[in-house]
């Protein structure tokens, strides 16, 4: 009953659920939830038969995939030094439910 409720919420929320399973149990429900949530396949969206020895490696992999999803590299096209530049970035993307999400970021930068 709990599994069915969670599966319904995962299917409609669009939030990826990453699963980590210890030992050699039956992970089929856990794997299904991760797959249906859009988290990804084995060693991306779910990790099975994990031992305490490689748990740090799993968390490092998850952390890297979350924080390094997008990278923007830019360089000013002029050579004036010690000039403050205000940078504005607008980001939009479509989630797995087809909804468009938007975010705005701004920061200042001093040329060197």
In DSSP terms, which residues pair with 103 in a beta bridge? Answer: 91
> 89: which residues sit within 8 A by CB, 6+ positions away?
72, 104, 105, 106
pLDDT average, residue stretch 60-75: 69
Q: What mean pLDDT, rounded, does the chain reach?
A: 81
Cβ(31)–Cβ(17) below 8 Å: no
Extract the tokens encoding 20.
């980590």
Cβ(44)–Cβ(65) below 8 Å: yes
- pTM, entire model: 0.54
Report whether pLDDT(68) > 70: no
């Amino acid at each position: 009953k709990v599994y069915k409720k969670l599966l319904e919420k995962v299917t409609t929320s669009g939030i990826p659920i990453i699963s980590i399973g210890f030992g050699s149990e039956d992970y089929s429900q856990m794997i299904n939830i991760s797959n249906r949530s859009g988290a990804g396949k084995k060693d991306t969206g779910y990790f099975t038969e994990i031992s305490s020895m490689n748990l740090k490696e799993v968390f490092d992999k998850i952390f890297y995939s979350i924080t390094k999803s997008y990278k923007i590299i830019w360089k000013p096209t002029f050579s004036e030094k010690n000039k403050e530049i205000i940078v504005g970035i607008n980001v939009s993307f479509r989630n797995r439910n087809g909804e468009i999400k938007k975010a705005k970021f701004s920061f200042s930068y001093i040329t060197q």
